[in-house]
Homo-oligomer: A and B are copies of this chain.
Protein backbone atom coordinates (compact mmCIF):
# COMPACT_ATOMS: atom_id res chain seq x y z
CA UNK A 1 0.00 0.00 0.00
CA UNK A 2 1.57 3.17 -1.14
CA UNK A 3 0.11 6.57 -0.62
CA UNK A 4 2.86 9.06 -1.17
CA UNK A 5 2.55 12.79 -1.14
CA UNK A 6 4.95 14.81 -3.21
CA UNK A 7 6.16 17.01 -0.37
CA UNK A 8 6.90 16.02 3.19
CA UNK A 9 9.16 17.48 5.84
CA UNK A 10 10.07 14.30 7.66
CA UNK A 11 9.84 10.52 7.44
CA UNK A 12 9.14 8.46 10.55
CA UNK A 13 10.06 4.79 10.43
CA UNK A 14 7.04 3.24 12.08
CA UNK A 15 6.79 -0.33 13.32
CA UNK A 16 3.65 -0.05 15.42
CA UNK A 17 5.54 -0.78 18.64
CA UNK A 18 5.69 1.54 21.63
CA UNK A 19 8.81 3.50 20.74
CA UNK A 20 8.06 4.33 17.12
CA UNK A 21 4.42 5.13 17.91
CA UNK A 22 5.44 7.59 20.62
CA UNK A 23 8.04 9.02 18.25
CA UNK A 24 5.46 9.53 15.52
CA UNK A 25 3.18 11.55 17.79
CA UNK A 26 6.16 13.50 19.18
CA UNK A 27 7.35 14.53 15.72
CA UNK A 28 3.86 15.29 14.47
CA UNK A 29 3.44 17.80 17.30
CA UNK A 30 5.94 20.18 15.65
CA UNK A 31 6.06 18.98 12.03
CA UNK A 32 3.24 19.69 9.63
CA UNK A 33 3.86 17.11 6.92
CA UNK A 34 5.05 13.75 8.20
CA UNK A 35 5.30 10.64 6.03
CA UNK A 36 5.19 7.37 7.94
CA UNK A 37 7.02 4.37 6.51
CA UNK A 38 6.27 0.78 7.54
CA UNK A 39 8.31 -2.08 6.15
CA UNK A 40 7.49 -5.78 6.07
CA UNK A 41 10.83 -7.55 6.15
CA UNK A 42 9.48 -10.99 7.00
CA UNK A 43 8.87 -10.38 10.69
CA UNK A 44 6.52 -12.78 12.49
CA UNK A 45 4.80 -9.95 14.26
CA UNK A 46 3.29 -8.40 11.13
CA UNK A 47 0.35 -7.65 13.41
CA UNK A 48 2.28 -4.57 14.49
CA UNK A 49 1.66 -3.12 11.02
CA UNK A 50 -2.08 -2.93 11.69
CA UNK A 51 -1.20 -0.99 14.82
CA UNK A 52 1.13 1.19 12.76
CA UNK A 53 -1.73 2.00 10.43
CA UNK A 54 -3.94 3.03 13.34
CA UNK A 55 -1.20 5.17 14.85
CA UNK A 56 -0.59 6.86 11.51
CA UNK A 57 -4.29 7.64 11.31
CA UNK A 58 -4.42 8.96 14.87
CA UNK A 59 -1.39 11.16 14.20
CA UNK A 60 -2.97 12.44 11.00
CA UNK A 61 0.08 11.90 8.83
CA UNK A 62 0.42 13.37 5.36
CA UNK A 63 1.38 10.00 3.87
CA UNK A 64 1.64 6.39 4.93
CA UNK A 65 3.64 3.92 2.88
CA UNK A 66 3.65 0.22 3.70
CA UNK A 67 6.35 -1.56 1.74
CA UNK A 68 6.20 -5.31 1.33
CA UNK A 69 9.82 -6.43 1.26
CA UNK A 70 9.07 -9.72 2.97
CA UNK A 71 11.24 -11.58 0.47
CA UNK A 72 14.10 -10.46 2.72
CA UNK A 73 12.83 -13.09 5.13
CA UNK A 74 14.05 -15.79 2.72
CA UNK A 75 17.57 -15.47 4.09
CA UNK A 76 17.08 -13.51 7.32
CA UNK A 77 15.17 -16.49 8.78
CA UNK A 78 18.43 -18.45 8.86
CA UNK A 79 19.84 -16.04 11.39
CA UNK A 80 17.03 -14.56 13.47
CA UNK A 81 14.15 -15.85 15.54
CA UNK A 82 12.19 -12.71 14.67
CA UNK A 83 11.58 -13.88 11.13
CA UNK A 84 8.78 -16.15 9.93
CA UNK A 85 9.96 -19.77 9.67
CA UNK A 86 13.03 -19.00 11.75
CA UNK A 87 13.79 -20.75 15.05
CA UNK A 88 11.24 -20.06 17.82
CA UNK A 89 11.51 -16.82 19.82
CA UNK A 90 12.95 -17.76 23.23
CA UNK A 91 11.70 -16.52 26.58
CA UNK A 92 13.90 -13.71 27.89
CA UNK A 93 14.94 -15.83 30.88
CA UNK A 94 16.20 -18.58 28.56
CA UNK A 95 18.71 -16.33 26.75
CA UNK A 96 22.14 -16.90 28.31
CA UNK A 97 24.10 -13.82 29.42
CA UNK A 98 26.78 -14.61 26.85
CA UNK A 99 24.25 -13.93 24.07
CA UNK A 100 22.80 -10.69 25.40
CA UNK A 101 25.09 -8.49 23.25
CA UNK A 102 23.50 -9.92 20.11
CA UNK A 103 20.51 -12.05 21.11
CA UNK A 104 18.60 -14.57 18.95
CA UNK A 105 16.04 -11.83 18.26
CA UNK A 106 18.68 -9.72 16.51
CA UNK A 107 17.98 -9.42 12.76
CA UNK A 108 21.15 -9.18 10.63
CA UNK A 109 21.83 -5.56 9.76
CA UNK A 110 18.15 -4.71 10.02
CA UNK A 111 18.37 -1.09 10.96
CA UNK A 112 20.89 -0.23 8.27
CA UNK A 113 18.49 -1.73 5.72
CA UNK A 114 15.45 0.06 7.14
CA UNK A 115 17.20 3.41 7.52
CA UNK A 116 18.78 3.21 4.06
CA UNK A 117 15.30 2.65 2.59
CA UNK A 118 13.79 5.38 4.76
CA UNK A 119 16.50 7.80 3.61
CA UNK A 120 15.78 6.92 -0.03
CA UNK A 121 12.09 7.50 0.65
CA UNK A 122 12.84 10.87 2.29
CA UNK A 123 15.04 11.88 -0.62
CA UNK A 124 12.31 10.89 -3.10
CA UNK A 125 9.70 12.93 -1.19
CA UNK A 126 11.87 15.98 -0.67
CA UNK A 127 12.01 15.47 3.11
CA UNK A 128 15.23 16.19 4.96
CA UNK A 129 14.99 14.10 8.11
CA UNK A 130 14.37 10.45 8.95
CA UNK A 131 13.34 9.64 12.51
CA UNK A 132 13.63 6.24 14.11
CA UNK A 133 12.67 4.98 17.51
CA UNK A 134 15.86 3.50 18.99
CA UNK A 135 15.80 3.84 22.77
CA UNK A 136 18.32 3.45 25.59
CA UNK A 137 17.59 -0.20 26.42
CA UNK A 138 18.06 -1.33 22.82
CA UNK A 139 21.77 -0.65 22.87
CA UNK A 140 22.55 -3.64 25.09
CA UNK A 141 21.43 -6.10 22.46
CA UNK A 142 21.56 -4.24 19.19
CA UNK A 143 24.62 -2.53 17.78
CA UNK A 144 22.38 -0.90 15.19
CA UNK A 145 20.54 1.08 17.88
CA UNK A 146 23.59 2.86 19.26
CA UNK A 147 24.74 6.48 19.03
CA UNK A 148 27.89 5.30 17.22
CA UNK A 149 25.79 3.58 14.55
CA UNK A 150 23.66 6.68 14.11
CA UNK A 151 26.78 8.82 13.69
CA UNK A 152 28.25 6.50 11.05
CA UNK A 153 24.99 6.40 9.10
CA UNK A 154 24.85 10.19 9.09
CA UNK A 155 28.49 10.42 8.03
CA UNK A 156 27.68 8.25 5.01
CA UNK A 157 24.46 10.14 4.13
CA UNK A 158 26.30 13.47 4.41
CA UNK A 159 28.15 12.57 1.19
CA UNK A 160 24.97 13.11 -0.85
CA UNK A 161 25.72 15.96 -3.25
CA UNK A 162 22.23 17.37 -3.59
CA UNK A 163 19.80 16.28 -0.89
CA UNK A 164 21.46 15.48 2.37
CA UNK A 165 19.25 13.37 4.60
CA UNK A 166 19.80 13.30 8.37
CA UNK A 167 18.77 10.40 10.58
CA UNK A 168 17.68 11.33 14.08
CA UNK A 169 16.72 9.20 17.07
CA UNK A 170 15.28 11.63 19.61
CA UNK A 171 14.40 8.84 22.06
CA UNK A 172 17.89 7.32 22.07
CA UNK A 173 18.52 8.20 25.69
CA UNK A 174 15.05 7.39 27.01
CA UNK A 175 14.18 4.17 28.79
CA UNK A 176 11.06 2.42 27.56
CA UNK A 177 9.30 3.51 30.77
CA UNK A 178 10.11 7.12 29.90
CA UNK A 179 8.72 6.54 26.42
CA UNK A 180 5.47 5.16 27.84
CA UNK A 181 5.15 8.20 30.11
CA UNK A 182 5.88 10.54 27.19
CA UNK A 183 3.34 8.69 25.04
CA UNK A 184 0.64 9.04 27.71
CA UNK A 185 1.35 12.80 27.82
CA UNK A 186 0.99 12.88 24.03
CA UNK A 187 -2.28 10.96 24.12
CA UNK A 188 -0.96 7.79 22.43
CA UNK A 189 -3.45 4.93 22.59
CA UNK A 190 -1.22 2.05 23.66
CA UNK A 191 -3.96 -0.50 23.08
CA UNK A 192 -3.12 0.08 19.41
CA UNK A 193 0.57 -0.79 19.74
CA UNK A 194 2.12 -4.21 19.40
CA UNK A 195 5.41 -5.44 20.80
CA UNK A 196 5.37 -9.26 21.13
CA UNK A 197 7.89 -10.92 18.82
CA UNK A 198 6.05 -14.21 18.54
CA UNK A 199 3.32 -13.34 16.08
CA UNK A 200 0.59 -15.19 17.99
CA UNK A 201 -2.88 -13.61 18.19
CA UNK A 202 -2.27 -12.68 21.85
CA UNK A 203 0.98 -11.25 23.22
CA UNK A 204 2.99 -13.96 24.98
CA UNK A 205 4.20 -12.00 28.00
CA UNK A 206 7.50 -13.92 28.23
CA UNK A 207 9.56 -13.04 25.13
CA UNK A 208 12.22 -10.33 25.59
CA UNK A 209 10.11 -7.47 24.28
CA UNK A 210 6.96 -8.47 26.21
CA UNK A 211 8.98 -8.59 29.44
CA UNK A 212 10.55 -5.21 28.71
CA UNK A 213 7.18 -3.69 27.86
CA UNK A 214 5.45 -5.03 30.94
CA UNK A 215 8.29 -3.75 33.10
CA UNK A 216 8.03 -0.30 31.51
CA UNK A 217 4.35 0.01 32.40
CA UNK A 218 4.99 -1.38 35.87
CA UNK A 219 7.80 1.15 36.44
CA UNK A 220 5.44 4.07 35.97
CA UNK A 221 2.60 2.37 37.82
CA UNK A 222 0.26 1.95 34.85
CA UNK A 223 -1.46 -1.09 33.43
CA UNK A 224 -0.59 -2.14 29.90
CA UNK A 225 -3.92 -2.11 27.99
CA UNK A 226 -2.80 -5.03 25.78
CA UNK A 227 -3.91 -8.53 26.96
CA UNK A 228 -1.27 -11.23 27.53
CA UNK A 229 -1.42 -15.01 27.25
CA UNK A 230 0.95 -15.65 30.14
CA UNK A 231 0.60 -12.73 32.49
CA UNK A 232 2.34 -13.21 35.79
CA UNK A 233 0.21 -11.38 38.35
CA UNK A 234 2.33 -9.55 40.87
CA UNK A 235 1.36 -8.78 44.45
CA UNK A 236 2.85 -5.41 45.14
Q: Which residues of A contact B (CB under 8 A)?
A: 2, 4, 6, 65, 67-69, 71-72, 74-76, 78-79, 101-102, 107-110, 112-113, 116-117, 119-121, 123-125, 143-144, 146, 148-149, 152-153, 155-157, 159-163, 165
Contacts and interface: CB of A to CB of B under 8 A. Distances in A.
A225 to B, nearest CB: 33
Closest 4 CB pairs of A and B: A152-B156, A108-B123, A109-B120, A112-B116
A234 B167 CA distance: 49
B161 A74 contact: no
A213 to B, nearest CB: 24
A120 B72 contact: yes
A68 B65 contact: no
Main secondary structure of the interface of A (DSSP, over half): helix
A196 B78 CA distance: 36
19 contacts: A2-B74, A4-B74, A72-B120, A75-B124, A78-B124, A101-B161, A108-B123, A108-B124, A109-B123, A109-B157, A109-B165, A112-B116, A112-B157, A113-B117, A113-B120, A116-B116, A149-B156, A155-B155, A156-B156
A101 B69 CA distance: 30
Contacts of A79: 123-124
A159 to B, nearest CB: 4
Nearest to A41: B120
Given A75-B124, A76-B120, 5 more contacts: A65-B75, A108-B119, A112-B120, A116-B116, A149-B159
Given A112-B116, A161-B102, A78 B156 contact: no
A69 B4 CA distance: 18
Contact of A75 (B4, B78, B109): B4
A67 B71 contact: yes
A204 B120 CA distance: 28
Contacts of A155: 152, 155
